[in-house]
Amino acid sequence: MSRSPGRKQENHKISRELFVLTYGALVAQLCKDYEKDEDVNACLDRMGYSIGIRLIDDFLARSAVKKCRSYSETADVIAQVAFKMYLGVTPSVSCSSATGNEFSLILDKNPLVDFVEELPAERASLCYCNLLCGVIRGALEMVHLAAEVTFLQDRLKGDAVTEIGITFLRKPEDRKHRRN
């Protein structure tokens, strides 16, 4: 099927509320399908990873960011550009290691939990937003940055903030390649 030449391609955007409600339904279904929270967490991480390895192309095309020269610059781009572009929030970034390879993204507001008040007592070890960790890990892997991404604090579990930890697994000099 061809498009008529004068017709603009429509940009279909899903409403944030619909996305958040759909995500909540997904997590609820996974909780029904799996008995253990660890299995739900692993499934959300795998799903996020699959999204991240595909989302990076869209991100690079739409954001026009230049190549990051350091881990701190990468963490800033994730917070200030990617989170803003896809979730409409801008987490603050803090470096939590002297070596400069560990960062925390601190979210004052997590849009994925807009309609969630608290986790049920029987689901205390559920990491409700673990999809985000997988997305970040998958996207970083596609730009050749191996990272471990985990939730360090979660407001749904009574913490003061929501904090995602990113640990880059290679030293910056390991990324350089020699030309022959």
How far separated are the first and last CA of the chain, in Å rounded? 48
Q: Looking at the predicted structure, is the pLDDT value of residue 7 above 50?
A: no
- Residue 7 in any domain: the answer is no
78 vs 11, 46, 83, 101, CA distance in Å?
23, 19, 6, 14
Q: For residue range 43-99, what is the model confidence (pLDDT) as tens digits?
A: 999 999 999 999 999 999 999 899 999 999 999 999 999 999 999 899 999 997 888
* Structure confidence at residue 107 (pLDDT): 94
- Residue 119 in any domain: the answer is yes
The number of domains in the chain is 1
- Residue 171 in any domain: the answer is no
- Residue 4 in any domain: the answer is no
- Residue 64 in any domain: the answer is yes
What's the predicted TM-score (pTM) here? 0.85
* Structure confidence at residue 172 (pLDDT): 52
- Residue 8 in any domain: the answer is no
User: Which residue range(s) make up the domain with 144?
Assistant: 14-166
* Structure confidence at residue 16 (pLDDT): 77
109 vs 17, 112, 176, 177, CA distance in Å?
14, 9, 37, 39
Confidence bin at 152 (pLDDT 50/70/90): very high
* Structure confidence at residue 48 (pLDDT): 97
* Structure confidence at residue 64 (pLDDT): 87
Q: For residue range 17-57, what is the model confidence (pLDDT) as tens digits?
A: 888 889 999 999 999 999 999 999 999 999 999 999 999 99
- Residue 173 in any domain: the answer is no
Q: Looking at the predicted structure, is the pLDDT value of residue 9 above 50?
A: no
Sign of the dihedral through C-alpha 59, 65, 67, 73: negative
**DSSP-derived 3-state class of residue 99:** coil
Q: For residue range 91-145, what is the model confidence (pLDDT) as tens digits?
A: 999 997 888 899 999 999 888 998 888 888 889 899 999 999 999 999 999 999 9
The CATH number given to whatever domain includes residue 133 is 3.30.1380.20
- Residue 18 in any domain: the answer is yes
